[in-house]
Chain A
Amino acid sequence: DAGITQSPRHKVTETGTPVTLRCHQTENHRYMYWYRQDPGHGLRLIHYSYGVKDTDKGEVSDGYSVSRSKTEDFLLTLESATSSQTSVYFCASSDSFEEKLFFGSGTQLSVL
């Protein structure tokens, strides 16, 4: 499997604070994605990147921003965390939209 790691694995934070989640891949994949997973919903795309400095919004992008300064790193920032952003966040990477996805282990984020 592709080397893709997320950090941190768990985080508890307070409402209103900024939070940054990091995704690192070693497979030189062009595409990287941030998803959130909540009960009653499938995985939902927050933002994705199709190259260094090239990013686009997904279906649930409000309150989130991303940056990709290097091929291997994709950062997700919650600008001012809210309780509705309590979720499990997954990073993934692939060579293209039509190619196999490789997932990180997930980050459990709790916003109190």
Chain B
Amino acid sequence: KNEVEQSPQNLTAQEGEFITINCSYSVGISALHWLQQHPGGGIVSLFMLSSGKKKHGRLIATINIQEKHSSLHITASHPRDSAVYICAVGTSGSRLTFGEGTQLTVNP
């Protein structure tokens, strides 16, 4: 069983909708990463967080350490947000474990 579980696996939304992608993990962590993989394959780091909430533009990431859960929210979604969103967790001094990703499609 993967230590990192993402839901949903696939998500289709209409432009303008509010989107939530979830990530649950089973071990204590020192940091959680949210990554975006574009249709062309490139991977970009969106957020790294260990507590609370971070916001960048229309993207918001939250983490609840006690519940071992993180969410990535996209407000006012746009077709250019269509991508695979990947959650990864790391324990102190150790390598990252990645989720399988959530495929997001935003239709105009």
Contacts and interface: CB of A to CB of B under 8 A. Distances in A.
Contact of B44 (A44, A99, A103): A103
Interface string B5-22: 000000000000000000
A43 B33 contact: no
A97 B43 contact: no
A30 to B, nearest CB: 13
Contacts, number: 55
A43 B98 contact: yes
- The main secondary structure of chain B at its interface with chain A is strand
Interface string B84-108: 0010101011111111110000000
A42 B2 contact: yes
B45 A97 contact: no
A97 B93 CA distance: 6
B35 A101 contact: yes
A82 B31 CA distance: 35
Which of B31, B41, B86 has the largest number of chain A CB atoms within 10 A? B41
6 contacts: A1-B44, A33-B95, A98-B30, A98-B90, A101-B35, A103-B42
Nearest 5 pairs of A and B residues by beta carbon: A42-B98, A103-B43, A43-B98, A100-B45, A42-B100
Interface of B: 2, 4, 30-31, 33, 35, 41-45, 48, 86, 88, 90, 92-101
